[in-house]
Structure 1
């Protein structure tokens, strides 16, 4: 992904408490608006807000369904839980989406849900998935990024013997459309995750909120990059900001603060139900006023 001083804007439609056709409507609308450059889903198996037994769609499956319904938008998950799928399988899933979309995937990945978020924690138990401690989550994320990149780029089968990931005769075919591979976005704010981002990320995403904290985390990422001899400017800074339909001035202020702080990849979170023509409204209300 090119690094420029111009902000790039996208939308995020969390696929919970909503119908597939509502998400499809918003993505099709956004795809026809050049100012919206990317679109995102989340990666949860049960709702993390609203009715706890309401509908939630599986992120990668839905992304693969939306990809051929769009022509231009870059697309991804904000962000994939590395806890849900073995990394070699995830590499195959992501490759499939990159091929289906004609090379438009931005590959978002993170450690997975915080242990202190009960609505997120329950989805692991409900689906028979182990919920390991933080050290395991971060260590396995670093190994997953290594393995996934190798599966995307290497031309010969390989074995991998890590602390958390072990593969024998691993090989990815087909390869992603994008060369050398789809951009890797790592999401999270912990110091341990930032160390992984310094090594592996093309983009780093932080959830919106305290922009001062975001600035401190970004500076920490700079430091970790310097420690391993990487140019910090080679990692695009991304932020997710929830959109307020009722108080757009609040959202506009948050966007301005984020851009001033160096976060030039802006993902605007749209809550359901989605108003009619919401993508056009977002464009007119927020994007055109910030230099697009």
Structure 2
């Protein structure tokens, strides 16, 4: 498929899923590139694993505070070039780290490199008041703002990014947080009308942004009872704007226990029963040999 053919490709996977949909997450921290690449290449050959994710931090948030952490979008592009089938993304991009127009360009590039396999994850970003997260901002000269600013700028970012991916002519944008002149993105993403947008978060303010902009919603953490409560609030916000909440696919990240797979299978069953069929299984390093095959055989197939 040449680039001109790819640019006419429809969305490979809509945001809505009819049944359970499983993926993996590999945090790009305290681990080598070769280790992550090995897991993703193996997962790419296993149909039961449909998507794969990195996270978006600039410094470690666990383990050695001075240990290695890869920049997420750069690594994602490399992995996109080394795989053929997996849907892929960052769970989720911090809107605090990159100007939204630049992020739209980066994401469009990854969608092209992957041949139209990007699921675009975005969120307000880690709380800058959290000591481990706050040092990322200070270490990289990034400003940190209060939650109201973070969520308000996220809503504007989603508007701008979608317009950059879809509009054929440059445009100006004057918002409360973003001000652009002659904004334009070329080339466009492969997927039409644009890559599916996944928004992560649980606050009421963020859920209003989800209702307005998201194709998929990711609830951070594994507290399924809280996820259900947050989901009911999302339903209400959708009703307020006249959107069918069923058009937003609901996602959970579940930690994988290598030693007690039954615990993970129980969490999978509870997640599906609660209406969260889009499941991301988070793998901890060091990754065992053939870990992707093990995930398919011991977790996914035995949860069917």
Question: Is the shorter-chain TM-score for this pair beyond 0.5, marking a shared fold?
Answer: yes
Query: Does the CA contact (< 8 Å) of 1:151 and 1:170 recur in 2?
Result: yes
Query: Structure 2 residue aligned with 1:20, among 28, 33, 36?
Result: 33
Tell me which stretches of 4 or more aligned residues in structure 1 moved more than 3 Å: none
Deviation at 1:246, TM superposition (A): 1.5
2:285 corresponds to which residue? Answer: 272
Match in the other structure for 2:214: 201
For 2:18 and 2:181, the matched residues in 1 are separated by 43
SS of the equivalent of 2:25 reads strand
Shift, 1:68, TM fit: 1.1
Instruction: Say if 1:84 and 1:2 are closer, same or farther in 2 by CA, change over 3 A.
Output: closer
Is the counterpart of residue 48 in structure 1 residue 95 in structure 2?
no
Show the counterpart of 1:82: 95
User: Whole-Å Cα distance in 1 between the matches of residues 139 and 228 of structure 2?
Assistant: 36
Aligned counterparts, 1:1-292, within 5 A: 1=14, 3-291=16-304
* Structure 2 residue matching 1:222: 3-state secondary structure: helix
| Gap regions ≥5 residues in structure 1 | none
Answer whether contact 1:184 1:201 (CA < 8 A) is retained: yes
Contact kept? 2:48, 2:296, Cα under 8 Å: yes
1: CA distance, partners of 2:161 / 2:146: 22
SS of residue in 2 equivalent to 1:84: coil
Structure 2: stretches of 5+ with no match in the other structure: 1-13
1:276, 1:208 → 2: CA distance?
26
Question: 1:2: how far off?
Answer: 5.0
Q: TM-score, normalised by structure 1?
A: 0.98
Q: Distance in 2 between matches of 1:65 and 1:129?
A: 25
SS across alignment from 2:50: strand
Deviation at 1:116, TM superposition (A): 4.1
Considering only aligned residues, what root-mean-square deviation do their CA atoms show, in Å?
A: 0.8
Q: How far apart in 2 are the matches of 1:159 and 1:116?
A: 33
- The two structures have a TM-score, normalised by structure 2, of 0.94
Contact kept in structure 2, 1:207 and 1:241, CA below 8 Å: no
Q: CA contact under 8 A between 2:15 and 2:196: conserved in structure 1? A: no
